[in-house]
């Protein structure tokens, strides 16, 4: 699931194609019909499904449509890789412990929107990224993997975001592999 650029989605697809990740990425779901992630899916030969959140009366109705789509695709697990929407218990309950999110901070620090700016403003020396299980409370689920990124005195939002994103591209396939092993052992 993605809303914007889709670089984490591409990192997953490439890791699977290189056999670094034992997974089949069967589809990308986007909520923004004009996002770059959709163009990446086309370029990478991955089916893309659009569920524009503006076409739904509520978050619950959007999540019902997502569950229906995932069910039709027979997915084992779902990865929110830049999905800029809060999900409801409808989606979470449909994929218990099988719904992952990547977040640009070392959780539990800097949950929610613009974690990069939160870290800069807090003047902490270190931030990073986390992959966690999704729970109803935003960015509060069990952390599966993290990568640290130092905050340099010369950093601004753009430079720090780029360094965090580089780590996300490395971390996300590893975390999905860890989660996948857990799913298979159940």
Q: Which residues pair with 18 in a beta bridge?
A: none
Question: Are 117 and 159 in contact, with CB atoms under 8 Å apart?
Answer: no
Count the helix, strand and coil residues of the chain and give each as a percent rounded to the nearest 5: 45, 15, 40
- Residue 55, in any domain of the structure: yes
Closest alpha carbon to 13 in 40, 35, 34 = 40
User: What secondary structure does DSSP assign to 22-57, as a single string?
Assistant: ------EEES-TT-HHHHHHHHHT--EEE--GGGSS
- Residue 89, in any domain of the structure: yes
pLDDT digits (tens, 9 = 90+) for 50-60: 999 999 999 99
pLDDT digits (tens, 9 = 90+) for 136-159: 999 999 999 999 999 999 999 999
Report the C-alpha gap between 170 and 173 in whole angstroms.
Answer: 7
- Residue 54, in any domain of the structure: yes
Is residue 103 annotated as part of the catalytic site, yes or no?
yes
pLDDT tens track, the chain, 186 positions = 999 999 999 999 999 999 999 999 999 999 999 999 999 999 999 999 999 999 999 999 999 999 999 999 999 999 999 999 999 999 999 999 999 999 999 999 999 999 999 999 999 999 999 999 999 999 999 999 999 999 999 999 999 999 999 999 999 999 999 998 777 665
Q: What is the pLDDT of residue 170?
A: 97
Model-level pTM?
0.94
SS3 141: coil
Both tokens of 37, joined, read 């992630």
Q: What angle do CA 163, 168, 170 make, to 5 degrees?
A: 105
Q: Can you give the residue range of the structural domain that contains 137?
A: 7-185
Q: What is the pLDDT of residue 182?
A: 72
- Residue 2, in any domain of the structure: no
Choosing from 103, 132, 166, 169, the catalytic residue is: 103
- Residue 1, in any domain of the structure: no
The CATH number of residue 101's host domain is: 3.40.50.170
What is the number of structural domains in the chain? 1
Report the C-alpha gap between 168 and 101 in whole angstroms.
Answer: 11
């Amino acid at each position: 699931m993605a809303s914007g650029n889709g670089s984490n989605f591409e990192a997953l697809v490439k890791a699977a194609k290189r056999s670094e990740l034992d997974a089949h990425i069967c589809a990308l779901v986007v909520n923004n019909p004009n996002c770059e992630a959709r163009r990446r899916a086309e370029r990478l030969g991955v089916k893309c499904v659009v569920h524009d959140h503006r076409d739904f009366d509520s978050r619950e109705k959007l999540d019902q449509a997502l569950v229906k789509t995932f069910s039709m695709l027979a997915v084992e697990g779902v990865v929110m890789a830049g999905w800029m929407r809060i999900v409801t218990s409808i989606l979470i309950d449909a994929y218990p412990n099988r719904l992952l999110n990547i977040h640009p901070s070392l959780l539990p620090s800097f949950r929610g929107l613009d974690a990069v700016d939160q870290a800069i403003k807090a003047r902490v020396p270190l931030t990073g990224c986390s992959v966690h299980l999704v729970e109803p409370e935003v960015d509060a689920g069990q952390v599966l993997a993290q990568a640290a990124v130092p905050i340099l005195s010369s950093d601004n939002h753009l430079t720090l975001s780029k360094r965090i994103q580089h780590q996300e591209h490395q971390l996300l396939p590893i975390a999905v592999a860890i989660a996948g092993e857990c799913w298979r052992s159940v």
